[in-house]
Structure 1
């Protein structure tokens, strides 16, 4: 019954047409919250759809992140405001001078409190198939029903957990994403047979790494689909420094190189799906994020198929692959450790600034 109200979407190729159709069908309000919004290409189609909605009297609100949409936000805001659309740039770069460093990393579209799209997909041609070039590997969920009305009521209410049937939506608030991390840890602890995890920016803390290894030690098949190439400089080096520890702990690693991996998803025992904007890295602990947890075998099976299909085209990483020469290994570990420590320190600094402002 619930599966009919939950649709798993494979990247921008599947998500964008349905998102645009939802905006075109809006009769009351549209809320779009996105980290990165490019004005050209597919972005121009969203601008047109939002403008048409506002022209027919729909209340339209758009929130973009000042860092994620750097170079685009001013012109985008000007265009949308001219069409009667409410626009907010979350913490523009000038806010750094006021001590506001945290980002709005959500990717969320809510239309008429009846249909919602949540996941890892920003608005830009990277995520779409253009001239035969496949888009970045990513996932989103389309949700319909009671939960959408709950979401509409809680969008500005800070940290929230919304529940309807087998679906939970978690919104991180001022306190950051630690509650979202706990949902991942709880799912790992309860895993009995298999965990398949696809994450673009995989820089977990020591506790999370131990949780993966504990699951593997008790016989759970743990498979990680990670980025073989990244849009973030040195991010892969930071992840690779964990490979030896994970492989020795019985965790299987696969690197996706055909396109850029941007997904943030996990499936546990073929029954529970976690997907959203939340990365397993320090910065997601202090950003505004979303996480959707679905306990539905049909939807989980679709997500498992998606991850396995990408794993079949990915490069398996073996322990001997980590046996580089002394200098190579030293350089990789030094760079990786530096990136990891820098990320942790930035997150700690941002978190402390937020708590001071809250106090």
Structure 2
């Protein structure tokens, strides 16, 4: 964790007025380096409402700047509500609650650890900042120093979208409505509710099954089910170039082992695999045929099927091309995984299969258990 004193100042971007527009404006943001200044500026300009929903909220560094901005907004009469996950923000939730409530803001800690005793194990994994129902920030970025570059050290590789237009008004109406599907112009926004993230998974499958030329996915925690793996293999075998940008190092213990057990099967089907090692990969995004973008908090793993998640689908070639360039840049500087690497010694392969399979099965069974508890 970098101290706040060591952080470079975040430039304050000049943002357009927060008014509702008839068309949808979409801006791609590369990690916290680009997202945080614009998010803080939006909070500073809020006049009516700020809703921040995030899995991990760090107390220090850039997190302290967000707390200051939220406190200032609440004290000038803006309705401020912050929702953090009880597990993801365990170190900061008490401080956030005390500080923000003292300023007049509302704070909710979603499923604190004590809820485990009642079987409420699912998480709020969303990342949403909505200001005045006129500008929204959605993607995979939490509030923490690791998401922004520090000098020559790159931040975690992640993406967010800044949205303006009627989709923001719709989001403001559906924040607490459970599962929702919103559409305005080229933007579709999906919120998973108590029914889980199966609808979000179907959006990925539909895009992959409809691909004609190329599919590029960047996913931090890649533990897809057998049906999803088959969809990728079918696409590759019918001539679609399928490329995966995966984590060469992960913040989750054994997650990479669970992913690596799929490498040989995918490579044999013609899927291209690249591992990002310059920093932690945290993105959850895909570009299909250079025209359609999928990005959000939704991971291709069992837990995202039961957690609260978001997914934005953008049918806008300009934005898809920008993300395509981001993916190309990261792929070009990643390690290309080849089939020969999968020819480990029998002992190495056995250990990888055992560990990877154990992690994958645990995630699947835990997600299934949570899903059953949610339906009661």
Range of TM-score over shorter length: over 0.9
Identify the residue that residue 299 of structure 2 maps to in structure 1: 279
Identify the residue that residue 44 of structure 2 maps to in structure 1: 24
Does the Cα contact within 8 Å between 2:135 and 2:165 map onto a contact in 1? yes
Distance 1:135 1:80 in 2: 27
Does the Cα contact within 8 Å between 2:273 and 2:336 map onto a contact in 1? yes
Which of 115, 132, 156 matches 2:152?
A: 132
- 1:288 equivalenced with 2:308 (yes/no): yes
Distance 2:252 2:270 in 1: 28
Give the TM-score normalised by the residue count of structure 1.
Answer: 0.98
Distance 2:28 2:234 in 1: 30
- 1:260 equivalenced with 2:277 (yes/no): no
**Offset from partner CA, 1:290-311 (integer Å, 9 cap, x none):** 0000000000000000001000
- 1:147 equivalenced with 2:170 (yes/no): no
Structure 1 stretches of at least 4 aligned residues deviating more than 4 Å after TM superposition: 1-4
Does the Cα contact within 8 Å between 1:2 and 1:165 map onto a contact in 2? no
| CA apart distance, 1:128 | 1.0
What are the ranges of 5 or more consecutive residues in structure 2 without an aligned counterpart? 1-20
Distance 2:284 2:102 in 1: 35
- 1:269 equivalenced with 2:289 (yes/no): yes
Does the Cα contact within 8 Å between 2:24 and 2:167 map onto a contact in 1? no
Does the Cα contact within 8 Å between 1:241 and 1:332 map onto a contact in 2? yes
| CA apart distance, 1:163 | 0.2
Distance 2:330 2:93 in 1: 33
Which of 52, 59, 70 matches 2:72?
A: 52
| CA apart distance, 1:193 | 0.2
Identify the residue that residue 90 of structure 1 maps to in structure 2: 110
Does the Cα contact within 8 Å between 1:191 and 1:269 map onto a contact in 2? yes
Does the Cα contact within 8 Å between 2:58 and 2:91 map onto a contact in 1? no
Distance 1:197 1:9 in 2: 17
Does the Cα contact within 8 Å between 2:24 and 2:187 map onto a contact in 1? no
What are the ranges of 5 or more consecutive residues in structure 1 without an aligned counterpart? none
Distance 1:212 1:229 in 2: 23
Distance 2:23 2:289 in 1: 17
**Offset from partner CA, 1:223-250 (integer Å, 9 cap, x none):** 0000000000000000000000000011
User: How much is the aligned-residue C-alpha RMSD, in angstroms?
Assistant: 1.1
- 1:15 equivalenced with 2:55 (yes/no): no
- 1:122 equivalenced with 2:177 (yes/no): no
Partner of 2:253: helix, strand, or coil? Answer: coil
**Offset from partner CA, 1:125-159 (integer Å, 9 cap, x none):** 01012243211000000000101000000000000
| CA apart distance, 1:82 | 1.2
Identify the residue that residue 330 of structure 2 maps to in structure 1: 310
Distance 1:248 1:77 in 2: 51
Which of 184, 196, 199 matches 1:179?
A: 199
Identify the residue that residue 209 of structure 2 maps to in structure 1: 189
- 1:238 equivalenced with 2:261 (yes/no): no
